[in-house]
Structure 1
């Protein structure tokens, strides 16, 4: 009985499969990042709306506090 060996896939088919997998992985990562950033922005806006402080923490450890500004009176600048 002869051994059966199937024809290997074409290189172009393998490259197309890899490209599709890469695109799917990128889309998954981007969708997750978009959801995370949306939740973070919502948290910032909700915290400020409650009158609280929100801490933005940068990669170098610097912390910036964000608070609700008091309304400015005429002549105080910022117009």
Structure 2
């Protein structure tokens, strides 16, 4: 009985499959990142809207506090 060996896939087919997988992986990462950033941005705006102080924490550990600004009067340069 002879061994049954199937024809190997074409290199171009493998390259196309890899390209599709890479594109899908990039889309998955971008969609997850977009969801996280959207939630974070909403939390910032919601917090400020509730007159809460919001902390932005940078990768180096620096913390920047964000609060709702009060309206400035005419003498302070406001309109």
Tell me whether the two structures share a fold, i.e. TM-score over 0.5. Answer: yes
Q: Unmatched 5+ residue regions in structure 2?
A: none
**In structure 1, what is the equivalent of residue 7 of structure 2?**
7
TM-score by length of 1: 0.96
3-state DSSP of counterpart to 2:75 = coil
Residues 71, 78 of structure 2: 8 Å contact kept? no
The answer to whether residue 67 in structure 2 is matched with residue 53 in structure 1 is no
Q: Kindly report structure 1 stretches of 4+ aligned residues shifted beyond 6 Å.
A: none
The structure-2 alpha-carbon separation of the partners of 1:78 and 1:33, relative to structure 1 and needing over 3 Å to count, comes to farther
* Separation in 2, partners of 1:8, 1:72: 74
TM-score by length of 2: 0.96
When the two chains are superposed, the root-mean-square deviation of aligned CA atoms in Å is 1.0
Q: How many residues align?
A: 79
Q: How far apart are 1:76 and its partner, in Å?
A: 1.2
3-state DSSP of counterpart to 1:75 = helix
The structure-2 alpha-carbon separation of the partners of 1:72 and 1:20, relative to structure 1 and needing over 3 Å to count, comes to same
